[in-house]
C-alpha cells in the first residue's frame, strides 16, 4: 500500500518542515505504544499542526486508500496506537494549543495533542482543574484520552473522560471536518460526541476537544492506610463501598509495587515491607471531609490496618500521588516489559478475584504485582516479563486471557479504562455475540465505510463462533507478532 510520489509531495507541502517523517528510524521509534508486546511498521508518520492540516492530509490518504492510525503520546496500554503496517500514523504531538479558556462557563477548548497535566496546570490558578487523571497524565494527551475514554484514580468520584467532554472537532476518514465543538450539556438529536468518545480512533480523528473544567474542592485529605497483606486492603475497600462512603479516589498498591516505587525517583514514603497500602483521597467541604476521614479510618482499622495516616500538606500529597502514578514505569526495575491487565470486577468480590489472578500467575510461573483503582473495581494485575523470551510471552498472554475470562464470568468487564485495542479484541467475544458485533460494525461503517481508520482494533477480526472454536492464536498477523531476539542477557 505504498504511497505515490505525488501524494508524498502533497503531504510534504501540507505539513511543512518536520511534518512528515519516514524511514527506518521513524518506524522503529513508533512501532508500539505502551503495549510493547505488539508492534507494527508505519509507512509514514504525519505530524499536523492544526485541524486544517489534519483534514488536508487525511484527504490525501483517503485518495490513496491508505489506512490511518491516530496517536497522542503513545502511552496507551492496549495497542490502540500501534501502527498498522503499511499505513500512516497521524501524531498529534504538534497540536498542543489552548484555543479557548472560558472561566465563566468553565470549559476549555484545546487541540488534541495537549498533554493532560498541562490542561490542569493551565487552569489551576483559577481554582479549576481537569478531572480525569490517568496515571500517565504527565505525558498522555487529551485526544488520546478521548479515543480510549481514559480513567484515572479520581474518576471514582468524577467519572471517566466521557463525562467531561462537551464537544469535539472531528476529521473524518475522507478528510471532512465535523464541527461539534459547541459545548452542549444536552445535544440536539443523537449524541455523536458521546458516541465518539472511546471509539479508539475507528471513527475518525478528534482534533479539537471542548472539556468541562471542575472546581477545586474546598478541602482535601489524603489518607494512607498500611496493611500487612493485600486481603485487608481489598476488604476495607469493599466495606467503604458497602457503607456508601464517597471518597474521590481509592487505590491499592501491593508489596512488589511499593518496593519498585520506593526505589525510584517517585519515592513516596510508602512503608517498605508493608503487604499493601490503601491510598484514599477525600474531598469536599471541611465538615464532609472530616466525617469521611473518620469513617475511612475506622473501616481501615477494623480490617486490620497497621497504621492510617494523613498527608501533611500539599507536597506530601503530591508525592503520594506521584508514586502511585509512576508505578507502571517503576516496574522497569523488575523486568524489561510489563503487561498491564485492565479488568473491572464487582467491588464485593475484589479480594477473591485478586487472589485468583495471583494464583493464575503463580501457576504459569509469572511475576505478578498489583496496583489498581480499587474503588472502581478496576484491577490491574501486572505481569513482569521479557519479550525476548517467546515461551514467557505465551504464558503472559494465556494468563491475561484467563484473568479476563474469570472477571467477565464474575460479572465484570474486559476493560476498565485502557480500551480494547489490539490486546483484547478477540476477547470481545467473551462479552458479545456475533449479532452484537455486527451492529457495532455497522455503527463504525456509518463513520468510516472503507474501514480505513485504525483497522484491526477494537472489533474482532474473525467471527466469534469461529474464534471460540479455535484456540485464538494471537500471532495471526505476522506484523503484530512479538519478535524474539538474541543478544546478551540482562
Partner 1 sequence: MSFNDESLVDYARTLDCIHCGLCLRTCPTYQLTGNESSSPRGRIALMRAVAEQRLDARDPAYGEELDFCLVCRHCESVCPAGVRFGEMMEHARASRARVSPKAAPLRFVRWLAFGHALRSRLLLSAAHGALSFAQRSGILGRLAPSLGARGAGLASLPEVPRSRDRELLPPCTAAQGERRGDVALLEGCVMPELFGRVNRATASVLSKLGYDVRTTREAVCCGALHAHNGDLAGARELARTLIAAFEKQAAGSSEPLPIVVNSAGCGAHMKELGRLLEDDPSWSGRAAAFAARVVDFSEFVAARLPDAARARFADPDAPYRVAYDDPCHLCHGQQIRREPRAILDGIEGLRRVEMPNSEGCCGSAGIYSLLRPEDSLAVLAPKLAEFQATGAEILVTANPGCHLQWQAGLSRAGSRAQVLHLAEVVDRALPAP
Touching partner 1, residues 470-489 (CB under 8 A): 485, 487-488
Among 40, 80, 83, 326, binds partner 1 (CB under 8 A): 326
Q: Which x/- pattern over 428-467 shows residues binding partner 1 (rule: CB under 8 A)?
A: ----------------------------------------
Helix (H, G, I), strand (E, B) or coil at 307: strand
C-alpha distances (whole Å) from 329 to each of 324, 332, 357 are 10, 6, 21
Tell me: does residue 327 bind partner 1 (CB under 8 A): yes
CB of 422: closest distance to partner 1 in angstroms? 15
Place of cell 461503517: 445
| Candidate residues 152, 247, 329, 400; the one interacting with partner 1 per rule CB under 8 A | 329
What is the Cα–Cα distance from 399 to 149, expressed in whole angstroms? Answer: 25
Q: Is 73 in the site for partner 1 (CB under 8 A)?
A: yes
Q: How far apart are CA 214 and CA 323, in angstroms?
A: 24
Should residue 62 be labelled a site residue for partner 1 when binding is judged by CB under 8 A? Answer: no
Ramachandran assignment for 99, one of left (phi > 0), alpha (psi -120 to 50 degrees), beta (any other): alpha
Distant-in-sequence, close-in-space partners of 130: CB < 8 Å, separation ≥ 6: 108, 116, 119, 120, 123, 142, 164, 211, 213, 214
Question: Binding of partner 1 at residue 385 (CB under 8 A)?
Answer: no
Of positions 7, 26, 99, 410, contacts partner 1 by CB under 8 A: 26
Q: Report the nearest approach of partner 1 to the CB of residue 444 (Å).
A: 27
For partner 1, give the closer residue by CB, 19 or 232.
19
Which residues make beta-bridge pairs with 170?
A: 178, 206
Cβ-based nearer residue to partner 1, 67 or 113: 113
Give the residue from 357, 332, 331 showing the smallest Cα distance to 343: 357
Residue 34 vs 456, nearer CB to partner 1: 34
Return the SS3 of 89. Answer: strand
Minimum CB distance to partner 1 smaller for 32 or for 162: 32
Q: In this chain, which of 79, 113, 377, 400 binds partner 1, going by CB under 8 A?
A: 113
Could you give the CA distance from residue 71 to residue 47 in angstroms, rounded to a whole number? 10
Rounded-to-integer distance, Cα 134 and Cα 156, Å: 12
Each residue of 154-166: b (16+ CB within 10 Å) or e? Answer: bbbbbebbbebbb
Question: Is residue 214 a contact partner of residue 129, using CB atoms and an 8 Å limit?
Answer: yes
Number of residues engaging partner 1 in binding (CB under 8 A):
51
Diameter of the chain by CA atoms? 71
Can you say how many angstroms the Cα of residue 369 is from the centroid of all Cα atoms in its chain? 18
- For partner 1, the binding residue among 330, 343, 356, 366 (CB under 8 A) is 330
Nearest CB to partner 1, comparing residues 20 and 374: 20
Binding partner 1 by CB under 8 A: which of 3, 10, 32, 222?
32
| Interface with partner 1 in residues 228-287 (CB under 8 A) | 261, 263-266
Residue ranges that bind partner 1, judged by CB under 8 A: 18, 21, 23-26, 28-32, 34, 36, 45, 47, 73-75, 91-94, 113, 115, 117-118, 136, 138-140, 261, 263-266, 326-333, 336-338, 386, 485, 487-488, 490
Amino acid at each position: 500500500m505504498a504511497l505515490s510520489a505525488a501524494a508524498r509531495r502533497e503531504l510534504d507541502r501540507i505539513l511543512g518542515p518536520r511534518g512528515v517523517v519516514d524511514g527506518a528510524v521513524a518506524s522503529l521509534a513508533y512501532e508500539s505504544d505502551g503495549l510493547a508486546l505488539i508492534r507494527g511498521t508505519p509507512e509514514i508518520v504525519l505530524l499536523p499542526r492544526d485541524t486544517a492540516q489534519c483534514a488536508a492530509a487525511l484527504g490525501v490518504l483517503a485518495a490513496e486508500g491508505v489506512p490511518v492510525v491516530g496517536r497522542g503520546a503513545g502511552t496507551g496500554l492496549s495497542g490502540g496506537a500501534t501502527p498498522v503496517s503499511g499505513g500512516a500514523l497521524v501524531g498529534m504531538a504538534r497540536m498542543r494549543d489552548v484555543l479557548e479558556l472560558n472561566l465563566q462557563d468553565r470549559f476549555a477548548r484545546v487541540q488534541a495533542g495537549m498533554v493532560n497535566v498541562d490542561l490542569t496546570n493551565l487552569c489551576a490558578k483559577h481554582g479549576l482543574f481537569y478531572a480525569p487523571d490517568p496515571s500517565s497524565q504527565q505525558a498522555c494527551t487529551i485526544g488520546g484520552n478521548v479515543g480510549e475514554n481514559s480513567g484515572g484514580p479520581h474518576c471514582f468520584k468524577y467519572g471517566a473522560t466521557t463525562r467531561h467532554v462537551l464537544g469535539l472537532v472531528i476529521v473524518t476518514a475522507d478528510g471532512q471536518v465535523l464541527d461539534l465543538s459547541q459545548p452542549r450539556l444536552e445535544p440536539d438529536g443523537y449524541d455523536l460526541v458521546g458516541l465518539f468518545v472511546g471509539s479508539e480512533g475507528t471513527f475518525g480523528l478528534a482534533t479539537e476537544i471542548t472539556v468541562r473544567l471542575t472546581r477545586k474542592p474546598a478541602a482535601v485529605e489524603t489518607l494512607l492506610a498500611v496493611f500487612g497483606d493485600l486481603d485487608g486492603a481489598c476488604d476495607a475497600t469493599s466495606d467503604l463501598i458497602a457503607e456508601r462512603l464517597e471518597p474521590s479516589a481509592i487505590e491499592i498498591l501491593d508489596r512488589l509495587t511499593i518496593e519498585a516505587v520506593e526505589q525510584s525517583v517517585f519515592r513516596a514514603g510508602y512503608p517498605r515491607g508493608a503487604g499493601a497500602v490503601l491510598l484514599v483521597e477525600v474531598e469536599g467541604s471541611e465538615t464532609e471531609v472530616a466525617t469521611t476521614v473518620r469513617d475511612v479510618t475506622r473501616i481501615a482499622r477494623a480490617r486490620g490496618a497497621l497504621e492510617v495516616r494523613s498527608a501533611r500538606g500539599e507536597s506530601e500529597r503530591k508525592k503520594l500521588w506521584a508514586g502511585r502514578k509512576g508505578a507502571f514505569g517503576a516496574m522497569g526495575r523488575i523486568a524489561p516489559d510489563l503487561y498491564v491487565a485492565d479488568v473491572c470486577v464487582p467491588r464485593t468480590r475484589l479480594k477473591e478475584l485478586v487472589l485468583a489472578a495471583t494464583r493464575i500467575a503463580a501457576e504459569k510461573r509469572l511475576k505478578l504485582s498489583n496496583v489498581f483503582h480499587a474503588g472502581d473495581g478496576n484491577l490491574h494485575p501486572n505481569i513482569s516479563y521479557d519479550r525476548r523470551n517467546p515461551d514467557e510471552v505465551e504464558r503472559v498472554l494465556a494468563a491475561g486471557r484467563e484473568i479476563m475470562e474469570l472477571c467477565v464470568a464474575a460479572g465484570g468487564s474486559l476493560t476498565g479504562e485502557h480500551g480494547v485495542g489490539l490486546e483484547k479484541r478477540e476477547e470481545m467475544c467473551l462479552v458479545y455475540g456475533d449479532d452484537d458485533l455486527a451492529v457495532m460494525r455497522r455503527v463504525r461503517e456509518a463513520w468510516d465505510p472503507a474501514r480505513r481508520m485504525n483497522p484491526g482494533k477494537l472489533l474482532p477480526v474473525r467471527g466469534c463462533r469461529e474464534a471460540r472454536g479455535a484456540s485464538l492464536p494471537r500471532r495471526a498477523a505476522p506484523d503484530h507478532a512479538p519478535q524474539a531476539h538474541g543478544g546478551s542477557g540482562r
